[in-house]
Amino acid sequence: MGVSAVDTDCVFCGIVGGRVRASRVYEDAQVLSFMEIRPAAPGDLLVIPKAHAAGLEDIDRALTAHLFGVVHVLVRGLRRSGLPCEGVNVFLADGESADQTVFHLHVHVFPRTADDRFRLDVRWQERSRADLDDDAARIRAGLTRGGHAPGQP
- Residues assigned a catalytic role: 106
β-pair partners for 47: 33, 107
* DSSP string for 62-105: HHHHHHHHHHHHHHHHHHTSSSS-SEEEEE---SGGGT--S-S-
CA 16/CA 10 separation, integer angstroms: 10
DSSP 9: T
* Residue 52: other Cβ atoms inside 10 A: 23
Q: What is the spatial distance between Cα 2 and Cα 63, in angstroms, rounded to a whole number?
A: 13
Q: What's the DSSP call for residue 3?
A: E
